[in-house]
Amino acid sequence: MTKPLITRIKAEKAVTQLLCLIIGGKQANASSHLFRDVSERLEFCLRLVHQEMKASIHDTDPDRFSRVVSTAKTKLESIQSLKTLNQLIEEVEW
């Protein structure tokens, strides 16, 4: 018995769902206008996380600084991983 093949739409939806979990509701809503272009949405979210990180660095209590930077770094690395998966999606002949 063979498994049904994954479609491009399902693969893109999976990347988008993971992105929304990584960045959170507020930023997911801020990027929702790019729902049809996963690559652009990933780039936009990278910029949002960078902005959030810059703002947090300036406004963060020194005792929480390393946690804020660590959280932002994890988000950035996770989005970069999604960009890699999305590139694979774009390279596959569907």
C-alpha span between 5 and 64 (Å, rounded): 46
- Model confidence, pTM: 0.87
- Contact 53/69 with Cβ under 8 angstroms? yes
Task: Quote the CA–CA distance of 57 and 21 in Å, as a whole number.
Answer: 22
**Interatomic CA distance for residues 19 and 45, integer angstroms:** 8
Domain extents for the chain?
A: 8-88
Identify whether the C-beta of residue 82 lies closer than 8 Å to the C-beta of residue 18.
yes
Asked if residue 54 has pLDDT above 90, the reply is: no
What pLDDT, in 10s, does the model give residues 63-83? 788 888 889 999 999 999 999
Three-state secondary-structure class, residue 1: coil
CA 26/CA 35 separation, integer angstroms: 15
pLDDT of 66 reads 83
Q: Is the pLDDT of residue 62 over 90?
A: no
